[in-house]
Amino acid sequence: MQDEQIILDSVERFLDRHVRPVAKALELADAYPHEVVSEMQRLGLFGATIGEQYGGMGLPASTYAKIVEQVSAVWMSVSGIFNSHLIMCAAIERFGTEDLKQQFLPRMARGELRGGIALTEPDCGTDLQAIRTRADKDGDSYVINGTKQWITNSVQGNVLAVLVKSDVNTTPAHKGMSLLVVEKSAGYKAHKLAKLGYRGVDTGEVLFEDVRVPASHLVGAQEGRGLQQILSGLALGRINVAARGVGVADAALKASLNYAQIRKTFGQPIAQHQAIQLKLADMATQVEAARLLTQRAAAAYDSGERCDLEAGMAKLFATETAMHNANEALRIHGAYGYAPENEVERYYRDAPLLVVGEGTNELQRLIIARQLLERYPA
């Protein structure tokens, strides 16, 4: 616990010095935070969950979730830069050959390589078995063709874990899917997409046209395991998104508490009005519940248990709490909250991403229900 607090204190100093002063301006300009990223490298955030034997910090998910919450309460976009990266690293560390781990993880831990996961395509997101991007074996290489969309770190980053169809004839479809590590130097092209929120971090469309990568960049010892490999990594991703939800929800609450005590109507602070007090009470209660669910999911992940249920519950509740609190904060702030100069407006734009990212909340409900039926059969 003492070591964890030292890390969290270091993160808080980093946020105070390097993120808070620039977040508003960079977010409104949709400008990539190059200097912030350099400081993140120095702090070791790109190696947060990578094992120490590969140059990472080897942090448990429970500590990692607290870091993500801290960062997201200041500027959520920053957390996305290292989250997508670490999901990719988790897949390599869990399933890659030792040669693949040695080739990529030390550089990724240092932030020299900054990665992302290329799953979604123009015609499929939740239904990953419908992907069309192909990787055809050609000697000791794969040749990749296809398009990926909404890929974080694809423009400013320099390596991706790409989900491909390595065998289009195999049924069921997931048995013909593989995961390949592809460096940008191999020749893929990416361009930035505009977004309502989650600004500053690059989210792009990625084009693969006869991009050739060594067969040794296959994650795992054989083809056909890609979907399972990346879905395993998404458990950590959903814990991250839940922690982001807690951070945004808590920031919205604190902004509302502050504003409600200085804004006056009818001769008294609006915090004295019962209607506002009811909102604040619900916002605070939901933040605490979301935080506990997120920590429970992180503890399950750290124990090595299957944690689809816990991660799904945390992601669902925490992100819906972010949506609720952002909306309530805007209502408490009134017209002032609608102005782009106010951070509440940013929370209102950022929160909707969370209910969609790492699997929609509709999908989370299905996952939760199926896990419940498995765990508690009649």
Q: Which residues are catalytic?
A: 358
Q: Are 242 and 297 spatial neighbours (Cβ–Cβ below 8 Å)?
A: yes
User: Could you give the CA distance from residue 302 to residue 353 in angstroms, rounded to a whole number?
Assistant: 26
Whole-Å CA distances, 97 to 113, 181, 221, 355: 18, 12, 7, 34
Q: Which two tokens stand for residue 24?
A: 């508003």
Q: Would you give the DSSP letter of residue 360?
A: -
Torsion of CA 38, 44, 50, 55, to 10 degrees: 100
Nearby residues of 185 by Cβ (< 8 Å), 6 or more positions away: 158
| Rg, C-alpha atoms of the chain | 21
> Which residue type occupies 292?
L
Taking the C-alpha atoms of residue 226 and residue 117, their distance in angstroms, rounded to an integer, is 12
Alpha carbon distance 77, 56 (integer Å): 22
- How many C-beta atoms surround the C-beta of residue 30 within 10 A? 15
344-357 burial, b at 16+ Cβ within 10 Å, e below that, comes to bbbbbbbbbbbbbb
Quote the CA–CA distance of 210 and 354 in Å, as a whole number: 34
d(Cα 316, Cα 308) in Å, to the nearest integer?
12
In angstroms, the CA 314 to CA 178 distance is 28
From the centroid of its chain, how far is CA 281?
Answer: 28
Backbone torsions φ then ψ of 236, nearest 5 degrees: -65, -40
